[in-house]
Structure formats: C-alpha cells, structure tokens
Structure 1
Amino acid sequence: MPIRHGSSAAVDLVVADDDTAIAIRSGDVPVLATPRLVALFEEAAVAAVAGQLDEGMTTVGMRVQVDHLAPTAVGSTVTAEATLERIDGRRLVFTVAARDSRGLVGAGKVTRVVVDTDRFLDKLS
C-alpha cells in the first residue's frame, strides 16, 4: 500500500502535572516538558500514516529537530500536527507544529523510518 505524500494528522493533549518538565525531570518549571512535546509530535506523525503501511510494517523514530518556542501551562490544550513532507526511500520526513490558545508552541521536523516489525525486533536478540 503506498504512503501518501501530504498525509497529516493532529493530536490534542490537555497538559497535566505528569506532562510537566518537573514530572519528566527535564527541568524545574511546571509547564509542558520539551520531551513530552516531542512525544506528541511523534504521535501525530504515526497517526498521519496510520492505515497506509503494509501488513507487518511499522515506523520507528530516527531524527527529531524541534524548536520549543513558548511555554504551555497545566490545564491548557496543545494541538500537535504532523504533515508528511518528503518520502525518501524508507525515510518519512514530517513537518510538525504545535499550538495552544496563545499561538505557536513548537515547530520542526520529525523523521521516521518504515521497517518490518519482526525483522526490527529480531535485532534485540
């Protein structure tokens, strides 16, 4: 099944205490943690190609290039969107952006690689 260039998806998160820099131990302020923002971008990228991969295939993270531009408070909703910008063999490059009620929170690129799930997991042995 071909993966469609331009595929996109958006995911929402209501920022909770567990999503903060304090909870994730990436800082000491009670705002959305950068690692949690990255995870949200990855979630959106996975959703963008959901249902487009052949049986037994999945994508795995390879590269994340993100600028975290503004803080998001606990209780605020942040929406992350990923759009498939480029297909380079097995590499999928997504443009990502996140916004809350005040505007742009973060932006960048996420690269994921299409792999055979079983062959990938065999590398653990």
Structure 2
Amino acid sequence: MLKEGLDYSTERIVEKSNLAVTMGSGDLQVLATPALVAAMENAAMLAVADALDPTDTTVGGHIDMKHLRPTPLGEKFTAYAKVVRVEGKKIEYSLIAEDGKGVIGEGTHTRFVVNREKFMSRL
C-alpha cells in the first residue's frame, strides 16, 4: 500500500561512466549532476516498488534538485528518497544525497503510478 514514510536509499561509487567530463555535463572529473539525479530517481522508484501491483510501476514527472558539492572519482555516495505525500497516483518525495563529507544534493521529486502495459502501448 502506498503511504507517506516509505523510503529507500541507493548507494553508488563515482565511476568514470558517471563523471561530468564523461557524461558531457561538464569538463571536470567529479560526479555529474545527471548521474546524481538518476541515483535519486532510482531511490524514489524503489521506495514504493514493493507497495505496487506487479502490473504497475512509477514514472518520473518532475524533479527539483540542488547539486551542492562535488564528489570525486572513487568516492561512495548515497541517495535517499522518502515519500512525503500520496495523492491518488501522484507520489511526492523528499530527496537527499550524501558522500563521506556530508550532503551533496537535496530536492523534491514527483512520480506517478502507471500500468506498465498501458503506458508502453502509448509509444
């Protein structure tokens, strides 16, 4: 059952594939903002996955995130997502990400519950 308080954390290591210089979002060898966003979205998706019918999933609708500090190659970081509001098929989350030195990102995210088959049939 979808409800406020559901949460999940995703742990990652900054690898070459998710550096700003590799992803093209910058020219430094630090965690790329798009990679941080992806980790946060992953945590949000997984926070509610077990509460959904197997025929359903969630899709991202909006994210508002601040990337506060750089994280170097090889450093571990964790993205946390917590459900703060459920309104029908709309789920709102609070997001935070940390590395060994503290908070590196924070924000909010909105996802929507969709039927997998019905959603894919719209392609």
TM-score after normalising by structure 1: 0.96
Give the C-alpha shift of residue 95 in structure 1: 0.3
Partner SS, residue 42 of structure 2: helix
Q: Match for 1:109: what amino acid?
A: T
Partner SS, residue 49 of structure 2: coil
RMSD over aligned CA atoms reads 0.7
TM superposition outliers: structure 1 runs of 4+ over 4 Å: none
Task: Identify unmatched segments of 5+ residues in structure 1.
Answer: none
Counterpart of 2:25 in structure 1 is: 26
Report percent identity of matched pairs.
Answer: 38
Kept in 1, the 8 Å contact 2:8–2:82? The answer is yes
Task: Identify unmatched segments of 5+ residues in structure 2.
Answer: none
The count of aligned residue pairs is: 123
Give the C-alpha shift of residue 47 in structure 1: 1.2
2:66 & 2:56 partners in 1: Cα distance?
30
Counterpart of 1:92 in structure 2 is: 91
Equivalent residues in 2 for 1:54-93, closer than 5 Å: 54-93=53-92
Kept in 1, the 8 Å contact 2:3–2:85? The answer is no
1:33 & 1:91 partners in 2: Cα distance?
28
Counterpart of 2:50 in structure 1 is: 51
Counterpart of 2:2 in structure 1 is: 3
1:60 & 1:83 partners in 2: Cα distance?
16
